[in-house]
């Protein structure tokens, strides 16, 4: 099992599930921060599908985002979840289906069943941690 630091250092693409177009929302702030630090952001939110958030096309589903990357032979490294804890299991199943590397549940989000499912399928799992906070704590190491 890799550490948070190893996950952050190796990740290039981050699918942000539940990304909002509202700058005051945590999902928007975190995605903008990650984007400004070199990560490729893939917005996933069916309410905004086809629109642009942070200059990126929003996908209706994780599968759509993964298919877009697959055209270039790439995959989703991290699925960063901004959904209620009880809504995470279907996201975990989708993350497994698209062969993502890590299922990351943001600060305040925990679902042990989803975590167990993802781990059993070989994904790394992070629960109740903010990618922005963790990246900042690593400073120059990330």
- pLDDT tens-digit readout, 89-136: 999 999 999 999 999 999 999 999 999 999 999 999 999 999 999 999
Is the pLDDT at 63 greater than 90, yes or no? yes
83 Rama sector, left if φ>0, alpha if ψ -120 to 50, beta otherwise? beta
Provide the pLDDT confidence category of residue 81 given band limits of 50, 70 and 90.
very high
Provide the pLDDT confidence category of residue 1 given band limits of 50, 70 and 90.
confident
Residue 140 has a pLDDT of 55
The domain defined by 4-141 folds into Rossmann fold (3.40.50)
Q: What is the pTM of this model?
A: 0.96
């Amino acid at each position: 099992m890799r550490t948070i630091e190893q996950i952050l250092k190796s990740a290039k693409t981050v699918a942000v599930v539940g990304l909002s177009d509202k700058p005051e929302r945590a999902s928007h702030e975190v995605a903008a921060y990650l984007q400004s630090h070199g990560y490729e952001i893939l917005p996933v939110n069916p309410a905004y599908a086809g629109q642009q958030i942070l200059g990126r096309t929003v996908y209706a589903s994780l599968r759509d985002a993964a298919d877009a990357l697959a055209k270039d032979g790439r995959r989703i490294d991290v699925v960063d979840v901004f959904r209620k804890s009880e809504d995470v299991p279907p996201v975990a199943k989708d993350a497994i289906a698209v062969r993502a590397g890590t299922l990351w549940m943001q600060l305040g989000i925990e679902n042990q069943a989803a975590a167990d499912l993802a781990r059993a399928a070989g994904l790394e799992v992070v629960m109740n941690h903010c990618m922005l906070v963790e990246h900042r704590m690593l400073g120059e190491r990330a």
